[in-house]
Structure 1
Amino acid sequence: MERTKNEPLPLGLPEQVDGLATTPSDRGDETQERFRYQWAIGVWLLAQSLTGNRTIRALWCEHHEDYLLELPAGRCIAVQVKTDSRENARWRWSDDALVDSVARFCVFERTHGTVIDGYEFISNAAPYVPAATTKRKDSLAASPDRLIQCCSRVSTHSEVEEPYKAAFTGLLGKTGCDATVLFQVLRKLRFAQGPVLRGYDDTFAASIIPELPGCAGLTTVSCCRLRDELIALVQAACRLRVDGIDGAVAYLATNGRPDAAIRGKCITPESAAELMARVRQPTFRFVDSGAGIDIGATTGRAEVLKRKMRNAYLGSQFEPLRMRMDSADQRLMERALLEPEGFDAISNQLVSTVLVECKDIEAMAFDHADEKTHGLAIYKQILQRMDTLAKEEPERVCREPKDTLMGIAGMLSGECKFAWGTPLEGEAQDGA
């Protein structure tokens, strides 16, 4: 049962103060969005390898850190991704999220420091950098970049100059790290700024996906589809799951987790390239097939369609299909006026695709036992297939919606090119 527009919401709007307008705060949505942002950053890290900007053997997701870049010769880079939704936010040493990340890096450095080339802190917000006119020592010392630069200039932590020496000492107290270890982490630490939280989807589709090998000529729709497929690839690797035979009985690693689940956290640039190749496969195009239909109200087409649908026990579906047919006819005439030079190719692609799909479904249902439900089974499958084409293969059907495709199916039937599995008496299946 559908809810009416004026029907009150259960319990009202969440987090309203005295029933008055209040800025919403949906922790669930925010958490999901920040996870997706992290997965998008994983795509960006893979893109660096695919475009030749950085050589990596594999991207490990939620393995030791948010991401672990496995480099040639057994070297690694540990990556933490953090988001900050504050307006014009800048990371300072007073921010707990930044301090926590440095503390994690210190633990990592203590155990694996000899094979770690670097630590990266990636966020939608940049680190705070003092202006040239800044004089206050506490403001200068709050800058992560300033402290990292000072550590890079000297050989030991004891040589760090003031006021950054005080910042280093304060960071020691907050992280509980050894001074030598913290010093090494800061020397290896780099910041990277990602796109803004509210526009990263568009940024990836417009700026990152087209830079990938073989993707420069993709349409916007294809770029968005490839972006979503790559994000889904990273999302799957970030989840601890076991598929296949290991889902029932699994060998365990020493931490009690299934070996297969840990291996599943790895994405190689080659596997990402294979996914890209599948997604950007060129859309199948029909050559001039001669399977056209007459655009415009063809005399007798609706009457033929009615007879065919009644013959296939689909009389109750005639009226909605007729309405789609008439509307699709009008829509195609509009496209013919707006796109006169390319309309012949558009019309050929649409008609050929719909006809082939309808004929394929009709052929697959040839052995349907019940004559009275034969046509309904075909009609149902055609509805589902037209919906799938419109949603998942929009380029193949020239970005037309399901209703247009169903309307074209009606036209084809009304012009004796398709019969819902049960041709009229004396009519050949091919409409001759």
Structure 2
Amino acid sequence: MLGTKLGEILMGWGKSTPLPLGLPEQVDGLATAPSDRGDETQERFRYQWAIGVWLLAQSLAGKRAIRAMWCEHHEDFLLELPAGRYIAVQVKTDSRENARWRWSDDALVDSVARFCAFEKTHGSAIDSYEFISNAAPYVPAATTTREDSLAASPDRLIQCCSRASTHSELEEPYQEVFTRLVGKTGGDAIVLFEVLRKLTFAQGPVLRGYDDTLAASIVPKLPGCAGLTTVSCCRLRDELIGLVQAACRLRFDGIDGAVAYLATNGRPHAAIRGKCITPEAAAELMARVRQPTFRFVGSGVGIDIGATVGRTEVLNRKMRNAYLGSQFEPLRMRMDSADQRLMERALLEPDDFDAIANQLVSTVLVECKDVEAMAFDHADDKTRGLAIYKQILQRMDSLAKEEPERVCREPKDTLMGIAGMLSGECKFAWGTPLDEETRDGA
């Protein structure tokens, strides 16, 4: 059984097993706070995708009208408004304790510089610029009197720009910091003044708790999601983040995957179009995820991982018996690869793997049995097996594409490989059982 095999795989890998080369970045073998730039970078990308979900949620909940959201197109996000105008969005994170954004922070200045470059070419179509972060901008206290502290506040400078007609009317100490910003953002005082008048700040959830915030505070407020369970909210959150993640990457497939028309920047037009997410597309995904997924609970059906030798021989005999000899080799390749894939999932998801394996095996077996039953009256014994094989191929492809949750997001090839395992372990025939199975009442 899969659970038994999993235990054998994990045997000997306990807490006492030494880690390769010890823990990274330990000083003299003593406890040292970890620093993993790779993990930190991935976490910041995921935070950006989560902010994309929040922006979509604003539209879905009726808080802001958005025609479409373009991901990693000109800016981190470019919100297309119904009137054909736009909002440019930059997302930045700061992991410092109690961090506050000041004009001395390079990341903030760099974002404003990008906005200035954008304003020069597209300013007439931009309604506003948004700087979204887990950290808030610095705001001076009522007792603050030092001019350098007052001038360090982004909000103070933005307010002064909003009250002035031109940048030359800015009062001190804000005129001085504005002049310094001009030199850091492209050297155009008029453009910088317009950007600051359009600039707004928004504070997102904390860097270490945004997943929980999305699942607990944002997803339940989406249309039709008020009654979702916590597990369902988490699943929908992950699906929406995945939607934004896919749009943030240059991906294209289908016909354009082989030959593609290129934009003037050398990128395929299809890849650029793929960066666009509409609220309707997000709503369609939500409706699909909210559909209840049928689950097999404790079905008792199981297959062995790694028992390929005897299973392969039985599968070969069964397929030849059903006049499917020509399909044996591709199914054997799928079966061996699926066996390896299940072992990998067992190592990666040990706590959930029994439920995953039960769902996969039970779903594939029931589908195969259903197809076999529907073909019982097929007139020609020599073509019945091929008809069943064809129907199973189509059904596994449909499950993988249209009901990914039901098959734990495994592709068609994994599902076909599991079908081969089941047949090789005498749990399923291709419409024509072996003689010994018939004698045993199979």
Q: Give the TM-score normalised by the residue count of structure 1.
A: 0.69
Separation of aligned partners in 1, 2:45 and 2:196 = 26
Matched, 1:250 2:270: no
Which of 49, 53, 57 is the equivalent residue of 1:47? 57
Separation of aligned partners in 2, 1:13 and 1:283 = 41
Do the aligned partners of residues 8 and 114 (structure 1) sit closer, same or farther apart at CA in structure 2, a change above 3 Å counting?
A: same
Which of 272, 275, 278 is the equivalent residue of 1:262? 272
Partner of 1:362 in structure 2? 369
Separation of aligned partners in 2, 1:84 and 1:266 = 27
Give the residue type in structure 2 aligned to 1:181: V
Partner of 1:31 in structure 2? 41
Matched, 1:129 2:164: no
Separation of aligned partners in 1, 2:178 and 2:233 = 44
Partner of 2:388 in structure 1? none
Shift of 1:178: 0.2
Partner of 2:121 in structure 1? 111
Shift of 1:176: 2.9
Pairwise mapping of residues 261-340 of structure 1 onto structure 2 (< 5 A)?
261-283=271-293
Separation of aligned partners in 1, 2:231 and 2:127 = 38
SS of the aligned residue for 1:155 comes to: coil
Do the aligned partners of residues 168 and 393 (structure 1) sit closer, same or farther apart at CA in structure 2, a change above 3 Å counting?
A: same
Separation of aligned partners in 2, 1:121 and 1:16 = 37
Separation of aligned partners in 1, 2:267 and 2:437 = 63
Shift of 1:8: 2.5
Q: Structure 2 regions of 5+ residues with no counterpart? A: 1-8, 300-313, 315-359, 376-380, 382-395, 408-426
Partner of 1:209 in structure 2? 219
Give the residue type in structure 2 aligned to 1:109: E
Partner of 1:230 in structure 2? 240
Give the residue type in structure 2 aligned to 1:215: C
Do the aligned partners of residues 160 and 277 (structure 1) sit closer, same or farther apart at CA in structure 2, a change above 3 Å counting?
A: same
Partner of 2:207 in structure 1? 197
Give the residue type in structure 2 aligned to 1:164: Y
Shift of 1:425: 8.3
Separation of aligned partners in 2, 1:263 and 1:177 = 33
Separation of aligned partners in 2, 1:365 and 1:39 = 44
SS of the aligned residue for 2:83 comes to: helix
Separation of aligned partners in 2, 1:109 and 1:357 = 56
Do the aligned partners of residues 354 and 256 (structure 1) sit closer, same or farther apart at CA in structure 2, a change above 3 Å counting?
A: closer
Partner of 1:180 in structure 2? 190
Shift of 1:9: 2.2
The answer to whether the 8 Å contact 1:78/1:118 transfers is yes
* Cα deviation 1:316-338 (Å, max 9, x = unaligned): xxxxxxxxxxxxxxxxxxxxxxx
Q: Structure 1 regions of 5+ residues with no counterpart? A: 287-292, 294-312, 314-352, 370-383, 395-418
* Cα deviation 1:360-395 (Å, max 9, x = unaligned): 44344679x9xxxxxxxxxxxxxx9xxx9xx9459x
Number of equivalenced pairs: 328
Shift of 1:7: 3.2
Separation of aligned partners in 2, 1:136 and 1:362 = 79
2-11 vs 58-67, greater mean Cα deviation: 2-11
Separation of aligned partners in 2, 1:165 and 1:250 = 50
Shift of 1:175: 1.9
Separation of aligned partners in 2, 1:355 and 1:151 = 65
Partner of 1:67 in structure 2? 77
Percent of aligned positions that are identical? 78
Give the residue type in structure 1 aligned to 2:153: S
Matched, 1:155 2:162: no
CA RMSD of aligned residues (A): 3.4
* Cα deviation 1:12-49 (Å, max 9, x = unaligned): 22112222211100000000010000001001101111
Shift of 1:75: 0.5
Do the aligned partners of residues 197 and 355 (structure 1) sit closer, same or farther apart at CA in structure 2, a change above 3 Å counting?
A: closer
Shift of 1:356: 8.5
Partner of 1:91 in structure 2? 101
Task: Identify which of structures 1 and 2 has the higher relative contact order when contacts are C-alpha pairs closer than 8 Å and 6+ apart.
Answer: 2
Partner of 1:168 in structure 2? 178
Matched, 1:4 2:13: yes
